Amino acid sequence: MGMRAYIIRRILLLIPTIIGVTLLIFAVVQVLSPEQRAALYVTSEQQADDIEVIIEKYHLRDPVYIQYFIWITHVLQGNLGFNQKSPKGPVLANILNRAPATIELTIIAAPVIILLGIFLGVSSAVHRDRLVDHVTRIISIIGWSFPSFWLGILLLAVFYAGLGWVGPGRLSVDTDVFVRSADFTRYTGLYTIDGLLNGQLWVTVDALKHLILPVVSLTVQSIALIVRVMRSSMLEALTKGYIVSARAKGLGQREVINKHARRNALIPVVTLAGMLSAGLLTGVVITETIFYIPGLGSYAAHMALPPPDIAGVLGFTLFTGVLFVIVNLIVDVAYAYIDPRIRLE
């Protein structure tokens, strides 16, 4: 089976998987009464006083299969409900408004975590039981042992409260005032990119400066797992027969490691990297809360606080479920690229 046919087949399998996700979320909603489910779509006090109108509009007393059809139709149209908590408004609009902050954090943190983790893991395996290996393993153990909330608070205490170099938030106060003015156009919501598109390099620099501490906080703990998995996978790959044969044919150490061993050792790391990236994209609750980043993680935490905003929680859950399904598709395609035997099977 060629790569194109493999990708098409995986995309087709994606459809029933997403349908399964929506069915599961819909089934959870069914524990609520029709009045409680109708509250998800209340946008004004007038509607709250006449809840039966909403129940009739969304067919919330009809058979379950009709309710599902009506619900999924509204979901496909972008209607995920209405947030009763601040900021009040359509759930989808609030999620899209929060997404750029999380995406900006992810596109900086994920490559650092994955690439540096792979490099350190390979180096540790190649220099097994030497100084490089010992130092890498010690750093990994220490990094994995650091609670993310403790490290985040420590970084703020040192670099914000102590040294006054950089504070929480996405931008400094003066920069934030400027980007909210009419002189600045928000093209993407990512300040590092919008600063360049507006010809304001200082905005990009300020945004990058505010990303340093949260990226460090995420990297220290997450990279430890990548290093440990990559090291174990690489050590196993180095014992395979094809590596012995490659060396017997006179191939150099660099070619054996980079061309043969590392590529085969990447498969378990690809899975881990995919799930890690999806986790970052759905919002890192603790990191975004500590560093006051108005992203998806802080949105989910706010919606879940008692009394919970059911529409917000369900909308975020649906967004997260679909995102993880899509990431799994990307991981499967990466598998097939790294190891052609997978698509042949």
Residues 105-161: tens digit of each pLDDT:
999 999 999 999 999 998 898 888 888 888 888 888 888 787 778 888 898 999 888
Using an 8 Å Cβ cutoff, are 312 and 299 in contact?
Answer: yes
For residue 345, the model assigns a pLDDT of 54
User: Domain ranges in the chain?
Assistant: 99-302+323-344
pTM here is 0.86
Rounded Cα distance between 42 and 40, Å, is 6
Which among 256, 9, 231 is positioned nearest to 141, based on CA atoms? 231
For residue 214, the model assigns a pLDDT of 92
Q: Is the peptide bond before 268 cis (omega within 30 degrees of 0)?
A: no
Give the tokens for residue 223: 């990279």
Task: Go through 146-155 and write b for each residue having 16 or more CB atoms within 10 A of its CB, e for each that does not.
Answer: eebeebbeeb
- Per residue in 202-212, pLDDT (tens digit) is 999 999 999 99
Rounded Cα distance between 26 and 207, Å, is 39
What is the chain's alpha carbon radius of gyration, rounded to the nearest angstrom? 24
For residue 140, the model assigns a pLDDT of 83
Helix, strand, or coil (residue 90): strand
Give the tokens for residue 270: 């690809």
Phi-psi bin for 185: left (phi > 0), alpha (psi -120 to 50), beta? beta
Give pLDDT < 70 ranges for the chain. Answer: 1, 339-345
Rounded Cα distance between 191 and 211, Å, is 11
CATH code: domain 99-302+323-344 is 1.10.3720.10
Helix (H) or strand (E) holding 259: none
For residue 142, the model assigns a pLDDT of 83
Helix, strand, coil percentages, rounded to 5, for the chain: 75, 0, 25
For residue 344, the model assigns a pLDDT of 53
Helix (H) or strand (E) holding 263: helix 262-281
Using an 8 Å Cβ cutoff, are 268 and 76 in contact?
Answer: no
